[in-house]
Amino acid sequence: MSVAENLAAVRERIAAACARAGRDPGSVRIVGVSKTQPVETVAEVIAAGVDAIGENRVQEAAAKRPLVSGATPWHLIGPLQRNKAAAALALFDLIETIHRVEIADRLESLLTGGDRVLPVFLEVNVGGEEAKSGVAPAEAAALADHVGRRCRHLRLTGVMTVPPYDPDPRRSRPHFAALRGIAADLAVRLGTGPLELSMGMSEDFEVAVEEGATTVRLGRILFGERRPA
Ligand SMILES: *Cc1c(COP(=O)(O)O)cnc(C)c1O
């Protein structure tokens, strides 16, 4: 199957999940996660109409994005180090992985004095896993307050999570529901409209959509297995 056929098949499965949940299928965006995939594949999925491109490493995006044209936004979905913040700003339209005050402050200071307002998501470690990035659920409110009050050049528009790995996608459901609850609390706190929910990957996106995902991040189901480095 071509990338375009894979994307069409995924859209059908999203539509079915939306029907089960009583949702509008137009409310779910697909981020094509193109890590390890060549730039030709990125161009292919953009031509097929994917909503955004997701890369988890700044350096990899730096090698690809200049070679790809078009208005499709690029999302950073991997951890951002302070020393890569300037490069990330040049490459990405949205950063999904704000998990510490220091990273928010670094981006804010780089943007200070300009007109650009960067949409960002908070990455939440819903499973409380030691080895995983993301703000602890109990600390999400404080981080959101900081971004909302102190970072005028950042606009908090969503939350993102990668739940603990489990081969059974049904086990992700409580984690997705937890993120939805956190997003609802933050929206009230910040006095914003509903926040975007970035959750669901190749194995569990249908469960995520049933639980309210507005952004799913899909790699292997669109592109096949990742390529060796
Ligand atoms: C790689 C990656 C994905 C996509 O994973 P697949 O299982 O290939 O769909 C989604 N989100 C993040 C943060 C990733 O690093």
Q: Average of pLDDT values for 185-213? A: 97
Q: Please choose from 45, 77, 92 the residue to mutate so as to test ligand 1's pocket, defined by most ligand atoms within 8 A of CB.
A: 77
User: β-strands 52-55, 74-76: how paired?
Assistant: parallel
Atom of ligand 1 at shortest distance to CA of 202? 9
DSSP at 114: S
Burial letters 9-43, b for 16+ CB under 10 A, else e: ebeeebbebbeeeebeeeebbbbbbbbbbeeebbb
- Given a cut of 80, whether residue 10 has pLDDT beyond it is yes
Q: What values do phi and psi take at 129, rounded to 5?
A: -80, 135
Atom of ligand 1 at shortest distance to CA of 162? 13
Atom of ligand 1 at shortest distance to CA of 221? 9
Q: Please choose from 56, 94, 225 the residue to mutate so as to test ligand 1's pocket, defined by most ligand atoms within 8 A of CB.
A: 56
pLDDT tens digits along 139-149: 999 999 999 99
Q: Which helix (H) or strand (E) holds 215?
A: strand 215-218
Q: Average of pLDDT values for 201-227? A: 96
Q: Which residue, judged by its Cα, is nearest atom 12 of ligand 1?
A: 77
- Given a cut of 80, whether residue 14 has pLDDT beyond it is yes
Atom of ligand 1 at shortest distance to CA of 35? 1
Q: Which residue, judged by its Cα, is nearest atom 10 of ligand 1?
A: 217
Q: In a 3-state reduction of DSSP, which class is residue 70? A: coil
In the reported structure, the alpha carbon of residue 191 is separated from the centroid of ligand 1 by a whole-number distance in angstroms of: 31
Q: Which residue, judged by its Cα, is nearest atom 8 of ligand 1?
A: 219
Does pTM top 0.95 for this prediction?
A: yes
Q: Which residue, judged by its Cα, is nearest atom 4 of ligand 1?
A: 219
Domains of the chain are 3-223 (3.20.20.10)
Residues whose CB is less than 8 angstroms from the CB of residue 38 and which lie 6 or more positions away in sequence, other chains included: 227
Percent of the chain with pLDDT over 70: 100
Q: Average of pLDDT values for 187-197? A: 95
- Given a cut of 90, whether residue 26 has pLDDT beyond it is yes
- Given a cut of 90, whether residue 111 has pLDDT beyond it is yes
Atom of ligand 1 at shortest distance to CA of 218? 9
pLDDT tens digits along 60-80: 999 999 999 999 999 999 999
Q: How far apart are CA 166 and CA 159, in angstroms?
A: 21
In the reported structure, the alpha carbon of residue 96 is separated from the centroid of ligand 1 by a whole-number distance in angstroms of: 13
Q: How far apart are CA 170 and CA 150, in angstroms?
A: 38
**Do 66 and 44 meet the contact criterion of CB atoms below 8 Å apart?**
no
Ligand 1 pocket by C-beta < 6 Å: which residues?
33, 35, 56, 77-78, 162, 201-202, 217-221
